[in-house]
Structure 1
Amino acid sequence: MSGGFSQDWEPIVIRKKAPTSAAKKDEKVVNAARRAGAEIESIKKSNAGSNKAASSSTSLNTRKLDEETEIVAHERVPSELKKAIMQGRMDKKLTQSQLAQLINEKPQIIQEYESGKAIPNQQIIGKLERALGVKLRGKK
């Protein structure tokens, strides 16, 4: 298998672009001022290095959020749904993990639904209805 294969072991060095003369001049001025004991103030630009232009819509959105006084919370599982899921699971003599396996979800999802901490998802509720043979959606 000795062919004409050889490796080039010469190192390749990749460097950043050399600083421009204006940047060097600014750096020299700042260093000279530091040596002289002058107070130097540096300013951080908030959009430096980003692709976004500063837009007024961002400030409008943050102002709206600041002025918002209403407490917003996600909808949680109603107690009737919690009880219906628990009752259907008990009737089928299934554990939470067995039911989760039947509907291809994590056991934690069933636990959250039965404790009322979950945010209702119609797909999961549909899977639960089919697996348990119980109607969970409809009249409230």
Structure 2
Amino acid sequence: MAGIGPLTQDWEPVVIRKKAPSAAAKKDEKVVNAARRAGAEIESIKKSNAGTNRAASSSTSLNTRKLDEETETLTHDRVSTELKKAIMQARMEKKLTQAQLAQVINEKPQIIQEYESGKAIPNQQIIGKLERALGTKLRGKK
């Protein structure tokens, strides 16, 4: 490391101070306090959302009203009764257990169980794998 001077570090403390309140803010406080001492009526307004990242309260009441008026039940599609029966029949004809069928299509046995019990959310890729493994058509017109 020829040519580089000695490495030095500056160990002097650095003091960072918060900015003092401005003169205008102090003046306003003095004026308000003087008015209070004189007996004048002072009206103060508290801003409830000041300094927060929240929207005004009127928009939240609109959102809650929309949610209250919402009548649609939002649920995921489940496997139809016809599909789960078709999967079970085709699997029984091939003499496969749920675990064996899952291994053939390279999925977890729990997925086959969910499809046959009707709890699964239909996935076209998995249904396609089942069709190829079982050699039968499971979706569309038979």
Amino acid paired to 1:91? E
Aligned to 1:35: none
Q: Displacement, 1:18?
A: 5.0
Identity level (%): 75
Q: Aligned to 1:118, what secondary structure does the other structure show?
A: coil
Aligned to 2:112: 110
Q: Displacement, 1:109?
A: 0.9
Cα root mean square deviation, aligned: 4.0
Distance verdict in 2 for CA 1:104–1:68, change over 3 Å? same
Larger Rg: 2
Residue-by-residue CA offset, 1:22-43 (whole Å, 9 max, x unaligned)? 4xxxxxxxxxxxxxxxxxxxx9
Note the residue ranges of structure 1 that are not aligned, 5 or more in a row: 1-16, 23-42
Given candidates 125, 128, 132, the residue that maps to 1:126 is 128
What is the 5 A alignment of 1:57-136? 62-136=64-138
Distance verdict in 2 for CA 1:61–1:88, change over 3 Å? farther
Distance verdict in 2 for CA 1:59–1:112, change over 3 Å? farther
Q: How many residues align?
A: 111
